[in-house]
A and B are shown apart, each in its own frame.
Chain A
Amino acid sequence: MSIEVNSIVKRFGSFVALDDVDLTVTDGRLTALLGPSGGGKSTLLRIIGGLEQPDAGTVRINGKDATNVPPQRRNVGFVFQHYAAFKHLSVYRNVAFGLEIRKRPKAEIRERVHELLSLVHLDQFADRLPEQLSGGQRQRMALARALAVEPSVLLLDEPFGALDAKVRKELRDWLRRLHDEVHVTTIFVTHDQEEALEVADELVVINQGRIEQVGTPADVYDKPANDFVMGFLGPVTRVAGKLVRPHDLEVLTAETPGATPAEVAGLQRVGFEVRVTLDAAGEEPWAQLTRGQSEALGLAVGQRVWIRVVP
Chain B
Amino acid sequence: MGSRRSARLVQRAIALLYVGILVLVPIVVVTWKTFSPGPAAFWDAISSQQAVTAFRLTAEIALASVALNTVFGVGLALLITRYRFPGRRLLSALADLPLSVSPIVVGLALVLVYGPVDGWFGKGLHDAGIDIIFSLPGMILATTFVSFPLVLREVVPVLAEEGIEQEQAARVLGASALQRFLRITLPIIRSALLYGIVLSLARSIGEFGAVLVVSGNVSGENQTQTVPLLVGERVQQLEPGSFQLAFLLILVTVLVIVLVFLRRDRSDRAGAVLADPVLADPGLADAEPGHAATVVTASDNVGLDDAAIDRGGLR
Chain A interface (Cβ within 8 Å of chain B)?
49-51, 70-78, 80, 82, 84-88, 97-98, 101-102, 112, 115-116, 118-119, 121-122, 124-125, 129, 131-138, 140, 142, 145-147, 149-150, 162-164, 166-167, 170, 173-174, 177-178, 181-184
B203 → chain A closest CB, angstroms: 28
Residue B7 CB within 8 A of the other chain: no
B39 within 8 A of A: no
Besides A121-B305, A145-B173, 12 other CB < 8 A contacts?
A50-B172, A51-B171, A82-B165, A87-B166, A87-B188, A137-B295, A149-B173, A167-B282, A177-B306, A181-B311, A182-B314, A183-B315
Known interface pairs A71-B172, A82-B165, A86-B184. Does A131 touch B283 (Cβ–Cβ under 8 Å)? no
* Nearest Cβ on chain B to A30's Cβ, whole angstroms: 15
What's the least CB distance linking B190 to chain A, in Å?
A: 8
A101 to B175, CA, bound (A): 6
Contact B174 A102 (CB under 8 A): yes
Neighbouring A residues of B190 by C-beta, 8 Å:
88
Instruction: State whether the Cβ of B46 lies closer than 8 Å to any Cβ in chain A.
Output: no
Which residues of B in the span 268-292 have a Cβ within 8 Å of any Cβ on A?
271, 273-274, 279-283, 285-286, 291
Q: Tell me which residues across on chain B come within 8 A of A129, comparing CB atoms.
A: 273
Do B302 and A181 touch across chains, with their CB atoms under 8 A apart?
no
Q: How far is the CB of B256 from chain A (nearest CB, A)?
A: 24
Cα-based distance from A257 to B166 in the complex (angstroms): 64
Expressed in whole angstroms, the minimum distance between the Cβ of B26 and any Cβ of chain A is 40
Tell whether, in the assembled complex, residue A136 and residue B302 are in contact, meaning their CB atoms are under 8 Å apart.
no
Contacts of B219 in A (CB 8 A): none
**Pairwise interchain contact A72-B175, C-beta atoms closer than 8 A:** yes
CB atoms of A115 and B184 under 8 A apart: no
Cα A80 to Cα B302 with chains together (Å): 22
A4 to B315, CA, bound (A): 22
Distance to closest chain A CB from B17 (angstroms): 39
Of A136, A145, A162, the residue contacting B295 (CB under 8 A) is A136
Task: Check if B221 is an interface residue, CB within 8 A of chain A.
Answer: no
**B286 partner residues in chain A, CB cutoff 8 A:** 134-136, 164, 166-167
CB distance from B300 to the nearest CB of A (A): 9
In angstroms, how far is the closest chain B Cβ from the Cβ of A135? 2
Q: Contacts A132-B279, A167-B286 hold; do A174 and B179 have CB atoms under 8 A apart? A: no
How many whole Å from A166's CB to the nearest CB in chain B?
8
Do A181 and B173 touch across chains, with their CB atoms under 8 A apart? no
**For the complex, what is the distance from the CA of A80 to the CA of B188, rounded to whole Å?**
18
In the complex, A164→B295 CA distance in Å? 13
The 10 closest A-B pairs by CB, nearest first: A135-B282, A98-B173, A84-B165, A84-B169, A134-B285, A88-B187, A78-B172, A164-B283, A121-B298, A174-B302
| Residues of chain B lying within 8 A (CB to CB) of residue A101 | 170, 173-175, 179
Question: Which residues of the other chain, A, contact B301 by a CB distance below 8 angstroms?
Answer: 121
Instruction: Determine if B174 and A115 form an interchain contact, defined as CB atoms under 8 angstroms apart.
Output: no
Q: How far is the CA of A183 from the CA of B187 in the complex (A)?
A: 35
A contact residues around B308 at 8 Å (CB): 118
- Name the prevailing secondary structure of the B interface residues: helix
CB-CB under 8 A from B291, the residues of chain A are: 134
List the A residue with the shortest CB-CB distance to B169.
Answer: A84
Question: In which size bucket is the chain B interface?
Answer: 35 or more
The winner among B174, B280, B301 for most chain A CB atoms within 10 A is: B174
Task: Tell whether B93 is near chain A: CB-to-CB under 8 Å.
Answer: no
- Which of B168, B310, B314 is A84 in contact with, Cβ under 8 Å? B168
Task: Chain B residues near A173: list those with CB within 8 A.
Answer: 302
The smallest C-beta distance from B11 to any residue of chain A, in angstroms, reads 34
Q: How far is the CA of A71 from the CA of B171 in the complex (A)?
A: 6
Is residue B90 contacting chain A, with contact meaning CB distance below 8 A?
no
**Contact residues in A for B176 (Cβ distance below 8 Å):** 72
Known: A72-B172, A119-B310, A150-B314. A162 touches B166 (CB 8 A): no
CA distance A184 to B123 in the complex (A): 68
Does B294 have its Cβ within 8 Å of any Cβ on chain A? yes
Q: Are A149 and B174 in contact (CB under 8 A)?
A: yes
Chain A residues contacting B305 (CB-CB under 8 Å) are 121
**CA of A184 to CA of B282, assembled, Å:** 28
Report whether A76 and B314 are in contact in the complex, using a CB–CB cutoff of 8 Å.
no
Complex alpha-carbon distance, A135 and B186, angstroms: 25
Give the residue of B171, B184, B313 whose beta carbon is less than 8 angstroms from that of A112.
Answer: B313
| Nearest-neighbor residue (CB-CB) of B302 within chain A | A174
The residue in chain B whose Cβ has the minimal distance to the Cβ of A147 is B314
Residues on A with beta carbons closer than 8 Å to the beta carbon of B298: 121-122, 136-137, 140
Give the most central of B172, B176, B286, B305: most A CB within 10 Å.
Answer: B172
| A163 closest partner in B (C-beta) | B282
- CB pair A121–B188 under 8 Å, yes or no, is no
Given contacts A112-B313, A121-B298, A150-B314, contact A138 B282 (CB under 8 A): yes
How far, in angstroms, from A146 to B286 measured CA to CA in the complex? 24
Complex interface: chain A residues within 8 A of B273 (CB): 129, 131-132
A181 to B306, CA, bound (A): 8
Sample 23 A-B pairs with CB under 8 A, ordered by A number: A72-B171, A78-B169, A80-B165, A82-B165, A84-B168, A87-B188, A88-B187, A88-B190, A97-B173, A97-B183, A101-B175, A102-B174, A115-B313, A116-B314, A119-B309, A131-B279, A131-B280, A134-B285, A134-B286, A136-B298, A145-B169, A163-B283, A174-B299
CA distance A149 to B175 in the complex (A): 12
- Smallest CB gap from B190: residue in A: A88
By a CB distance below 8 angstroms, the chain B residues around A87 are 166, 188, 274
Tell me how far the C-beta of B145 lies from the nearest C-beta in chain A, rounded to whole angstroms. Answer: 33
